[in-house]
Amino acid sequence: MRTTEKERIQYRRAGSVVISVLTFLGIAAVLTLVFSFLIYKLQPPPTVFVLVANVILAAACFAGARALSKKQKKGGIVLGLKFAAAVIIVVLAVTLLTSSTFTIGGLLSKSTVILLASVIGGIAGVQ
């Protein structure tokens, strides 16, 4: 059975999504390990944890959106926004399921970090 051009495009897009998700998870895992080790050794005050979490989230979103737009080769801003929307939905769901303290301010700050990093990553991937 021969595949049509439309089917090839769909396979390519699906592959791009898988690669971007794996990139996101890989970067997040590596940075979590690195920062965990540094936090263990340096024992900074607890206020640093939020900053570290935002840095990890931003780096992972940038890398994931960049991988997605690099494979697609067009529409960097739109792909970055779509990637950010998916990540925000996952972060919201995980927060609602695991956290006893949910704040709109926390969600807005994380959403801002995710949006900015993903859009910049989307633009960088097209370049």
Q: What is the reported pLDDT for 11?
A: 67
Q: How far apart are CA 49 and CA 69, in angstroms?
A: 30
Tokens at 15, concatenated: 């592959």
pTM of the model: 0.86
pLDDT score, position 117: 97
Q: What is the pLDDT of residues 63-97, one digit of tens each?
A: 999 999 988 888 889 999 999 999 999 999 998 99
Angle (CA) 108-36-66 rounded to 5° is 55
d(CA 63, CA 103): 27
Low-confidence ranges of the chain (pLDDT < 70): 1, 9-11
CA distance 51 to 113: 11
For position 1, what pLDDT does the model report? 57
Query: Which pLDDT score is estimated for 102?
Result: 81
Question: What's the pLDDT score for residue 127?
Answer: 81
Instruction: For residue 116, give every residue at least 6 positions away whose Cβ sits within 8 Å of its Cβ, in sequence order, or none.
Output: 58
